[in-house]
Each structure stands twice: as C-alpha cells, then as structure tokens.
C-alpha cells in the first residue's frame, strides 16, 4: 500500500514540475532569449535587427526581426525568423538559430 501511495505522489509532483517549467518557458522573462535571437538574426555580421513579432510556447520561441545590413540608407535588408529552444526541452540555456 505504501509503494502505491509514493508512486502516486511522485507522479503528481512530476506533472506539476513539468507544468511549471512549461509555464516558465512560455510566460517567463525572455530577455536573454531575445538577446541571443538578435545576434542569431545578424548571422555573425554587423547589422541592425529590430524585433517585430514573437511567438512563445512551452517548447520554444520564434522571433521575427527586420534586419538591415551594410551602412547608410543603401544597406540590404529583409526579415529573418529566428527559432530559440532550450538545451533540454524545458531546462538549460537558450540556443537560437535562423530558420531556413
């Protein structure tokens, strides 16, 4: 009887932990993810990227940037979509890369 009770408690606690981590990913502070996404939008070049739209879920974020490369008014520009995910689904550091 004790084993079943412990198993039930473990399952409930695990479900609550996963729910809390998913909520943190979708509604928590995302300033570090935006900073990484801005760098990824420039693809290692010197550019100016301004955040347009963002979509956040429990499993990752997507950011749309208006990017201007080059200098002055003659610089090239475009829209870059950057996808950010954590190392391990709900925990770990953010890693961002432009979508193809």
pTM of the model: 0.81
Domain span holding position 78: 2-98
Q: Read off the pLDDT of each residue in 4-12 and give the average, rounded to a whole number.
A: 94
**Mean of the pLDDT values across residues 1-14?**
90
* Predicted pLDDT at 46: 84
Antiparallel, parallel or unpaired: β 61-69 and 91-98: unpaired
How many domains are there within the chain?
1
**Nearest Cα residue to 34 out of 16, 48, 15, 54:** 54
Average pLDDT over residues 5-14: 95
- Please check whether residue 43 is in contact with residue 26, taking contact to mean a CB–CB distance below 8 angstroms: no
Count CA atoms within 13 Å of residue 76 on its CB side.
4
C-alpha–C-alpha distance, residues 69 and 47, integer Å: 4
Q: What is the pLDDT of residues 33-65, one digit of tens each?
A: 999 999 999 887 888 899 999 999 999 999 999
């Amino acid at each position: 009887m004790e084993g079943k009770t412990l198993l039930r408690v473990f399952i409930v606690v695990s479900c609550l932990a996963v729910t809390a981590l998913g909520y943190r990913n979708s509604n928590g502070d995302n300033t570090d993810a935006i900073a990484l996404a801005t760098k990824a939008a420039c693809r290692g070049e010197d550019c100016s990227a301004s955040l347009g739209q963002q979509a956040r879920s429990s499993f990752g974020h997507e950011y749309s940037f208006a990017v201007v490369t080059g200098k002055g008014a003659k610089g090239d520009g475009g829209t870059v979509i950057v996808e950010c995910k954590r190392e391990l689904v709900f925990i770990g550091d953010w890693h961002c890369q432009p979508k193809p």
